[in-house]
Structures are given as C-alpha cells and as structure tokens.
Amino acid sequence: MTRADLLIIGAGPGGYETAIEAAQAGLTTVLVEAREVGGTCLNEGCIPTKCLCRDAERLSEVSHLTDLGLPPMEASPDFARIAARKDSVVAALRSGVETMLKHPNLTLMRGTARFAAAHTVEVALNEKNESDETTETIEATNVIIATGSVTKFLPIEGAHLPGVLTSTDLLALDHVPRRLCIVGGGVIGMEFASVFSAFGSQVTVLEFCREILPNFDSDVAKRLRTALKQRGIDIVTQARVERISPSGEGELTVGYTLKEREKAVTADRVLMAVGRGPNLTSLNLDDVGIAYTKRGIETDESLQTNIEGVYAIGDINGRCQLAHAATFQGRRALNHILGRTDGIRLDIMPAAVFTAPEAASVGLTLEEAQAQGIEAAVGKAFFRANGKALAMGQSEGLVKLVATSDGRLLGCHILGPHAADLVQEVAALMRLNGTVKDLSETIHAHPTLGEVVLEAARRLG
C-alpha cells in the first residue's frame, strides 16, 4: 500500500498543475493517469485543434492575398504535413509535462483508479508502470478527482455507425473529408467547421438551438454565423437531428427536422459535437457515497465534495468545461487543503472560440444581467473603424461591453482578430472590481486592436 498526503486522479491541466504545486508545497503526492499526461486538452482538444486553427488561418490568408494588394498564390493544403506538425507540438508539450512531474515529492502512477473507501483508491496498473504488480492501493489524507469528460452522443439511430466521429476521431483523420456534417454548433463544432472549411471540406452544421454558440452573446454568435456562411459553411439552426443512415459506398445521410419538415444532408463523415459529459466511469462513487448528478460530482465553493477531504475539479464537476477552469479550481482546492486563502474569482472565467474570426467572452451578457435584475448598459465599438484591424485586413467584428448604471464592468464580448487575447484586459479589470472609467482612462497604444476595447468603454462613459 502507498500512503500520501494527496492523491490526484487524472493528469489533465487541473490534475498535473495541482500535483506539481502540491509537491512544491511539501505534500507527498500521487498522480494517477490512465492514459497520457496532459488530458483531453493537450492530447485531443485545445492544443491539437489550435494547431489546425493556425494552419487554417494561414491558408485563408494566402487565399486572400489579392485583398492586401499582393500577388495571388496557389493555396493547397498538405494535410499529412499539417497532421505531422500537430502531432509534434502535442508530443513536445507532453514531454514537457512529464519532465515537470519529476519531483521528489511526486509519484506518477499509470493506471485506472476506483474508490475502495472514501480515502482509499485501488489502481489497476497499465503496462507503462515499471512494476510487476497489476494493482496498487493508495491511502491518502486528501483526494482530488480530476478525470475530465467524455464525448456525448445523441440517442438516435445510427449514432455509432462507422464514419460518425468524435472530435478525437476527427483529429486522427489522415485526410480532409470532401463533405463533413457537424452535429452541434457549440464551440467544438464551430471550430472544426471553420478549420475544415478552410482545408477544403464542404461543411454543413446542424444546430438544435435558435443560434450557434448558445452560451455566447447573441450579437457575437449572429455575426459569427454570418461570417462563416460567407465563407461557404452551411449552418442550419433549429435543426433536430433524428437519425444517421448509411447511403451509398462510404456515405452517411443525416436526417433532421426543420420547422416540422423532414430534411437530410449527405456527407462522407459526420462529427458528433453535442457536448461532453462527466467521466464518471470506473470511479465507484456510489459505494463510497460521493454525491453526483448527471452534470457531474457535486462540490462546494472550495471544490470539496460531500465527503470531507475529497475534492472534484474540472469537467468532472460540471461547473465549467474549460482547461483553465480546471487549473484554477485545482488551485482553490489545494489552497483549502493547505489552509490558505486566495482571491481567485471562479465566476470571472474568460472563454474563447478559435474560429475565423475569433470570438471571446467573459462575465455576463446583457440578457443575463437583466435576468438577475441588474440595471445594465452596453457600449459597442467595431473593428471596421480601427486602423490596426484595417491594416491587417481583418475588419470584421465588434467589442461589446456590459456595465452597471454606475459603471462597474459586468462583461465583455468580442468577435474579431485576437479576440481571445483582447478579452483578457477586461477580465483583469473585472477581477480588480474595475469600472468603465478605469478602462476609458487607461492609455492604449496606437495603432492597436486594443483601441476597440477602449472605444467601447468611451461609448459607455
């Protein structure tokens, strides 16, 4: 039996970063991972998709050189090289994580964990462990569950046919599908739609809700949908997918209902992008009494479960399915274990969609503020009036600030170049209880994209 101050199940961003910090703080720490370190984000999510997003962005720039007054160039993607670059980036980062995990207070154990008791876990070891044993029992004073999430599937006929892919499957493809149907217009669906359209696929997106990106600001979502449609992506909203059927050699037909009329689209591959659910498999939570729902493991504001000394961070608790959310939840849980206080604001959580153009958001939308009974106002500014954006040839989009009547910043929503970077300025101000006046009186360099944020604040002032 192994004894530890802290056991962490899952070596995704939340798990491995918390393990490193715990070891540095002097806790004897065991980190258990069934697959590769880095979790979904590094191996099958954020990082590989961002590699593809960057390649797609460059390809789009090449195909629009004449708009910048430059001679045209042939723009034909070499997908084998694109995939190889993606894999090399992932491998380099994974190797870096493994190096960081080499600490005298930290043991990385590879295998699948299940609870035997509230603070006792049995690990079925896999081949990567340098041990002749097949199982290991770990008893820990504190346990953090960080097992992440898994792809959801619609409960429809044909959902698991060959050619119906998860995001992991799509990232592993060795070719660009001629026709790609994406079921779901959330973050995952829209990023892949943007990427594979740029690579040459004929892309159709079927979204059940009235608008794509249902959790984003409505202005941002509508403008993004318009921009992507102009690039040739067919986006159908309010589409209820009913079935997927084989049709012809290697083809799939996706049947859906739109305004009570039956319709269908034929594709070579279908991406199932209808969200992710908590990865509760094999944990044996019921026998040890850890409370959970279909959304995930229930936790308090310290990320502690109903069992003292047992915590759950990241996608597994269903609070926010973002890598950086898992990381900061891990810090909150570790601080609670160590008896430290912190000023982390888990309610101020930036999010981004790496489409072309990018979308990003932090805080409340106007509709959310109003639903909470907050008297709020909006200030908008547009990239088409920004010198840097025009010089870049990327003038599509806007910045939308939401603030209280007395000027306290509530949220920021951006569509446009480098939106993911720009939104961080407002996130930092919100963390410090900043106001519209603070933002409008902060000098911004010229010419920069950040001036669009400044102009939105001035229009609120």
Question: H helices within 239-322, ranges in order?
Answer: 285-288
Euclidean distance between CA atoms 394 and 358, whole angstroms: 11
Quick check: helix, strand or coil at residue 117? Answer: strand
| Enzyme catalytic residues | 446
Angle in degrees, 0-180, between the axes of helices 323-338 and 13-24, rounded to the nearest 10: 30
Euclidean distance between CA atoms 333 and 311, whole angstroms: 7
Beta bridge partners of 165: 271
Quick check: helix, strand or coil at residue 459? Answer: helix
Given a contact cutoff of 8 angstroms between Cβ atoms, the answer to whether 143 and 166 are in contact is no
Which one-letter amino acid corresponds to residue 244?
Answer: I
Which one-letter amino acid corresponds to residue 327?
Answer: T
Q: How crowded is residue 428: how many other Cβ atoms within 10 Å of its Cβ?
A: 13
Q: Report the phi/psi class of residue 327: left, alpha or beta, with left for phi > 0 and alpha for psi in -120 to 50.
A: alpha
**What is the pairing mode between strands 276-278 and 149-151?**
antiparallel
Cβ neighbours of residue 456 under 8 Å, at least 6 residues apart? 379, 380, 381, 399, 400, 401
Give the N- to C-terminal CA distance of the chain in Å, as an integer. Answer: 63
Euclidean distance between CA atoms 348 and 411, whole angstroms: 9
